[in-house]
Structure 1
């Protein structure tokens, strides 16, 4: 796992050394992602520079150094991620006449591009990756991202220069990147707790979508951000919606026993591929279904005890550590658990803005950061159970949405329209339950509308962010799957396409890479996902609850009593924090005069929610947490920009350099 950064300038008057300095500064901002090695490459004639920070996982020798050139010299790559099927691709390429100096997947990826071209090579890769690839013959930059969006890739304009990197902090290091806050993206943050792709918190800045390719040359860069439409210009080489629809049209034709055998085989392959590394590998174990499946399969495939890691919370009724310990003892893993206090958790909060560097408000980021730090003390790679909920009907909110859809359809259409119209005057009160919430459901045109009401924070964030408009995401589609499959399929697709990459995977990527840990998610293997999509709903939603088939597989390794347990989640007591130890911190960030001066929020509206929350009138903790995360991020961003400005000043006065 690594970090990448770079720039492409349409001007050719930038000297080679200055290009190296610019890219090197951007790469240095990502040191935490790759503490083991660094490299910079530039071609001043074409205004391109690439930087790379390496976390050595495969081929620890210098032969894995990046940026790396292809054997024929045509391509130069900076690459973040892992291609799990690289060994099979390597054998195929050897038969086609390619030779390899080392054993890294980077070298295999370059040979694949030489042999099959960029899009076909990427489509053959089973893995997680973000790629920046320069084609010397065509003078073209290619950006690519894996199918599900495990690895991040930002890009945007700094003046007339295209800049890109694994995290925004790399883009910030370019002296001309002074892009302000995109108010529309801020409204999205309030609605979802994160900024969905392809949007980013800054103007003229974007995220590459999962499963997408993007091509730039000097002419497209010169046209600038105003001419760029990410939804038009990003080209999909793989789309979850199309693949799910195809799987539903060609469903699995076996019985439940055959499905169980097939899923066990697929998961064994996925876990086995992700255990390949030249460094120690462990697993996050919460005691829930998903992490227990991954841990069970790892232990079944390992000749020695697998290292498993759990965080416990002192005095919390949500503590899963005892469940994880029970699973670990049964499987015989080398288990490490760490109990943390509320003070330990709160100590993470001031570091969140630097860790995520785009405002991010999923409060489970706190325990995720703690367990990543624990794992990194003993291993360099850790497997996780991410993806099980989105593939196997794991969220209780799916059941609630289906229930609400059934109720809504029983109400006569004229009455539904009247109720929906009356709900529009309730504002955020429609999020807090009661008649207003019921009436808000009546305007739904499909399962997508019903489900959106289950997952959004602010229902009307434009009211809180003056001058904003709310960009559309898949959650705004009444029928996310276009009417194919069941309403349950449509909800799982929306979560797989938006919530999974932009919340869950973003959270794990930033928390793990902040401590130089690589996280791998076998349940998100493409073969596992496409098989899950081919299954009838009753294989996922059995009489005993959600994840029916996944639990059947787990019962091959654990006793029934360890499997048939309720879902607890991996959260944080935000209400308790904001009324206790974080109250003073929050009050400072939400000070009405400060909000009015900064101008991003409606100070009266936000202040009213804060007062109601403190008085115990409403549980506005989720609404307030995403405002607070933006406010804290804003302070961090300004500090970082001031530091860049100071470095530039020192460079121009001869007192320092980039």
Structure 2
């Protein structure tokens, strides 16, 4: 999220500075904060940003603000930034190029420029969506923007009380997040990656200033492409740590392919007497623990390696802080180990961590990219045969049959009949249970149940490529990465007082990845085939050969085996009845499943974490007085 907020136009605000500071109070407060403001009757902008990751400048009646890690492709603007700061370069670029300044700006940064005298404003987030920005149009042709939904809702002209029934439904559809551009508050929207908001002549338009430039280069030599991959990623890591004190920099190290790459490149990039530092979270559950692979990487690159084992008591200690840290419901359970790892790094004196997020979405690493080929084969069967024979027979079979062959056949045909990309995004609660069995009738009456399917179809169709694999990756760049993993890691690092950067999502790395032919990405039918071959001899063989694992929390096992967590979950889910969002019978069934967890499969318990997170999020917003911040993990309230 972005550490600034403001507005342009709309109804007059009697106490502009007071309103701006109320909005700033709704932003998370970073460590080493700088807080500055520019406020007038026609427009305002202010920031609450980390001193090393944001800036502000007001001059000649204009104001500019930035948050993140920018760099400039325009040499003149780069020179201005070196001499006077990025905000000065942003103002200079705005005067000379208007919204075209964004084409000259790179890096993981959000920006805003407010020009009250001309009634013009610009706000934008980066191409990967590392930063986020919400906005709402106001009566009289104005617009309010801010780094969180709460900051926008704090403006006196924004009526955003209550929850959006549609966003609540979509949170459950997409498993654990509210996807952009919608938000949990009615009337408030979010920018998507590579998007900007432009306000002029009393009108606001939201437009894309960048899209992923998929253009496979099939004439390129594979060995040359492999060399470019290594050099481009190496340059991205060096850019991420430029001007940083080596002893204050570290890397997340899960033991996976991307975190191992980033940690290894960091070891090459860091100058100094001490080795590069890496931080790992391990678990006692072997099915989730990858710390042995992390140790292999650490030994291979000579890293100063810290490993912390997370147990149920550690989860319980930070659960409420994690659940209430976000401006919208966010149920990704791996936020907990991300926070604990970042806290461990902060305690060790690190204030900048590098993360490996993005590699799977750029270089074809998600399992469903190959798994969906099973369903694609079904579409090759002649339509007459499918409709006259296979589908009528499958329709008579139950997807819940006790006969394995019947059950699998019915489920396969039902899933194969779904259009792309709907079938690869129906993974949440509402794909397994009908909405009528889950949601309260009053809420369901206000919901368009087809909206999530239209959203994923729009993203799929908008990808500028004819390759299904690249469309898959474009979809995951939005829904999995920008709406999920980046929100998770960024907010948890901010809570721990640590900045985070993502070399895999460097602008040059993203642009390079778009030139790789899809058949090369999954070379030999292997996920990340080209990438792994490119890093053979650089990464340990064990890392290249290991199966894909993913960074997760064994919360199902914790709910089964830890009485305190189990009791907390049952109490929270039962208490959700008073919110009138769910059917009581659905919540009763979840409580019953938790009461005998050893007899339940994973499916019966998988939604429990999301429900408890939602309960805590709702309760904190109901109980917290206006102006009181969300808690910081480990701090007394």
- Partners of 2:183 and 2:133 lie apart in 1 by 11
CA contact (8 A) 2:395 2:410 kept: no
Picking from 410, 414, 417, the partner of 1:443 is 417
Unaligned runs of 5+ in 2: 630-637
Q: Against the structure 1 CA distance between its residues 35 and 645, is the aligned structure 2 distance closer, same or farther, given a 3 Å change threshold?
A: closer
Q: Which residue of 2 aligns with 1:77?
A: 64
Q: Which residue of 1 aligns with 2:165?
A: 183
* Residues 1:254 and 2:225 aligned together: no
Q: CA deviation at 1:123?
A: 1.7
Partner SS for 1:131 = strand
Please say which of residues 568-577 and 504-513 is displaced more in the overlay.
568-577
CA contact (8 A) 1:393 1:546 kept: yes
Partner SS for 1:260 = helix
Aligned pairs (5 A) from 1:111-260: 111-118=92-99, 120-156=100-136, 162-171=143-152, 173-174=154-155, 178-192=160-174, 193-216=176-199, 219-220=202-203, 233-240=205-212, 243-244=213-214, 247-248=215-216, 251-260=217-226
Q: CA deviation at 1:529?
A: 2.1
Please say which of residues 28-37 and 495-504 is displaced more in the overlay.
28-37
TM-score w.r.t. structure 2 length? 0.86
- Partners of 2:408 and 2:590 lie apart in 1 by 18
CA contact (8 A) 1:158 1:174 kept: no
Q: Which residue of 1 aligns with 2:430?
A: 458
CA contact (8 A) 1:284 1:384 kept: yes
- Partners of 2:84 and 2:519 lie apart in 1 by 44
Q: CA deviation at 1:511?
A: 0.9
- Partners of 1:308 and 1:511 lie apart in 2 by 17
Q: Against the structure 1 CA distance between its residues 562 and 556, is the aligned structure 2 distance closer, same or farther, given a 3 Å change threshold?
A: same
Partner SS for 2:271 = coil
- Partners of 2:532 and 2:418 lie apart in 1 by 33
- Partners of 2:398 and 2:5 lie apart in 1 by 45
Q: CA deviation at 1:476?
A: 3.6
CA contact (8 A) 1:384 1:520 kept: yes
- Partners of 2:573 and 2:281 lie apart in 1 by 31
- Partners of 1:33 and 1:423 lie apart in 2 by 56
Q: CA deviation at 1:298?
A: 1.9
Deviations 1:453-489 (CA, angstroms, capped at 9, x unpaired):
4x44421664333222232454246964679433322
- Partners of 2:429 and 2:346 lie apart in 1 by 33
Q: CA deviation at 1:622?
A: 2.9
RMSD between aligned alpha carbons? 3.2
Q: CA deviation at 1:127?
A: 0.8
Q: Which residue of 2 aligns with 1:230?
A: none
Unaligned runs of 5+ in 1: 59-63, 222-232, 647-658
Q: Against the structure 1 CA distance between its residues 424 and 50, is the aligned structure 2 distance closer, same or farther, given a 3 Å change threshold?
A: farther
Q: Which residue of 1 aligns with 2:359?
A: 388
Aligned pairs (5 A) from 1:474-493: 474-476=455-457, 480=461, 484-493=465-474
- Partners of 1:546 and 1:578 lie apart in 2 by 32
Please say which of residues 263-272 and 435-444 is displaced more in the overlay.
435-444
Please say which of residues 189-198 and 301-310 is displaced more in the overlay.
301-310
CA contact (8 A) 1:383 1:521 kept: yes
Partner SS for 2:523 = coil
Q: Which residue of 2 aligns with 1:402?
A: 373
Q: CA deviation at 1:327?
A: 1.1
CA contact (8 A) 2:397 2:407 kept: no
- Partners of 1:396 and 1:141 lie apart in 2 by 42
Partner SS for 2:38 = strand
Picking from 522, 529, 545, the partner of 1:548 is 529
Q: Against the structure 1 CA distance between its residues 590 and 416, is the aligned structure 2 distance closer, same or farther, given a 3 Å change threshold?
A: farther
Q: Which residue of 1 aligns with 2:633?
A: none
- Partners of 1:180 and 1:115 lie apart in 2 by 42
Please say which of residues 281-290 and 176-185 is displaced more in the overlay.
176-185
Partner SS for 1:128 = strand
CA contact (8 A) 1:80 1:130 kept: yes
CA contact (8 A) 2:26 2:154 kept: yes
Q: Which residue of 2 aligns with 1:523?
A: 504
CA contact (8 A) 1:55 1:516 kept: no
Deviations 1:435-456 (CA, angstroms, capped at 9, x unpaired):
553232142234x133224x44
- Partners of 2:292 and 2:469 lie apart in 1 by 32
Q: Which residue of 1 aligns with 2:20?
A: 23
Q: CA deviation at 1:181?
A: 0.5
CA contact (8 A) 1:212 1:236 kept: yes
Q: Against the structure 1 CA distance between its residues 461 and 189, is the aligned structure 2 distance closer, same or farther, given a 3 Å change threshold?
A: farther
Please say which of residues 317-326 and 184-193 is displaced more in the overlay.
317-326
Q: CA deviation at 1:416?
A: 5.4
* Residues 1:358 and 2:328 aligned together: yes
